[in-house]
Each structure stands twice: as C-alpha cells, then as structure tokens.
Amino acid sequence: MREIVIDTETTGLDCNNGDRVIEVGCVELLNHISTGRTFHKYINPGRAVAADAVNVHGLTDAFLRDQPSFETIADELIAFLGDSVLVAHNAGFDRDFINMELDLCGRAPIEADRFVDTLLLARRRHPNGPNNLDALCARYGIDNSARTKHGALLDSEILAEVYLELIGGRQATLELASIGSVSAGVATIGEAGARPRPLAPRLTPEDVAAHETFLGELGSDPLWNRYRGQGEAGAP
C-alpha cells in the first residue's frame, strides 16, 4: 500500500481570505515504510506573507519572490501524489489549501476521503493530549531537534514517524526485523561445518554401567528397547 505524508506552509491561516500555499513537502511510504522518495517545492504566492506566519516558518517575501508559482508545479505534485492515501496532521487545513490552489489553476480537487488525519488518530489514542507534532515527538521519543522552524518537508518526515507510532507500524516493523534476524541466525547455524575435533563424551564408564543395570531391572521386554531399535525381545 502506497501512502504519502504531506504538509504545507502558507502565507496565513485562511485560504478563503486570500492566503496561499508557499511550501509543499511530501514523503512516500510503501507498506508503512519510508522509501526515501520525497517531493518538495517552495512556491511564490503572489502576495505578502503575514508577519505571524514568517515567525512560524521563516519563509520571507524576498526568498519566495524567485520561486515558481503553484500552477507551475501543480502537475508534478499531482503525479507524485497519484491515487495514494494522503496522511496529514490537521488534514482539513492542508486539504483546503491544496484544493484552493488546484482550483485556481484549473485542476480537480482531492477528495476528502483520501486523507488520513493524524491529529484525529492522536486524539483518539491520547484523549488528554496535547497532540501537536512536538508533543507527539516527545511522547514517542522521536528526535525533532532540527525543527527550529516549521518546514513542510521536515515536518512530513517527522510526521511519518509519528504516524507509524500511532498505527503501531513501527513496532510491527521491528518485530519483523527481529524475526528475520533470528531466521538468519538459524540459517547460519545450519550451514556450519562439522567440528574439527569431536566433543569429549560427558558420560563416564560408571554412568554407562549404571544405566545398563537400570535397564536390566525393567523386565524381559521393556518399552525402552523399542526406542533403542532392538525390537520387542532381548535385553541390551
């Protein structure tokens, strides 16, 4: 199963009031494992970035001025997303902004049922919160020390780890890895050659004699002899 973890940064918080997407970051998962494939673009929004937003992500008007428009990168983004499930934190925010941008450049919107919202998953699993990305990283021991500012690609990479924790995928992966390691170990033992020198027997002559005496006391046809391959009659 292919999934795409996606995050956006924007000029502000309201896509219905003229705010625009300025960064998109995506991370590809295959069967809940990161493949290393990513999609990342900065975007010129054609309008000023709110000061409060700059404080969050650090993307300034001067930096964005030389970046491509959303319309320029839209087809590349659509191709990367394909028909995969999309994973986002507070998914409605990212979905609304992306669909607004797609609409502005004449592309079809992304259906709501394609999104998995990790914020909802976190609230169900940890109803007492907090469930923002930093809090979830602290809860699951995920290193987010590089996250001095919000960034779409970095946040997607971190969210991919959080998502695996929320669905139990990380533990399952570790268990599979452990099983594989054990199997590999068994295969290695099975392929080992004969010992260069046989181990010395641990039974002493006295032990062997005592055992034979014990067998002689079991009767003329003890069941033990059948397991020794000596038939139903005859003592050892």
Tell me the residue type at 163. Answer: Y
Q: Is 25 exposed, middle or buried (0-12, 13-18, 19+ CB in 10 A)?
A: buried
Residue for token pair 């990342």? 40
**Considering 32, 40, 126, 150, which one is annotated as catalytic?**
150
Tokens of 221: 């046809």
Contact 166, 3 (CB under 8 A): no
Number of helices followed by number of strands (H, E) in the chain: 10, 5
Residue 150 is a catalytic residue: yes
Place of tokens 């050892």: 236
**Cα of 142 vs its chain's centroid, Å:** 12
H/E stretch holding 3 = strand 2-10
Catalytic residues: 150
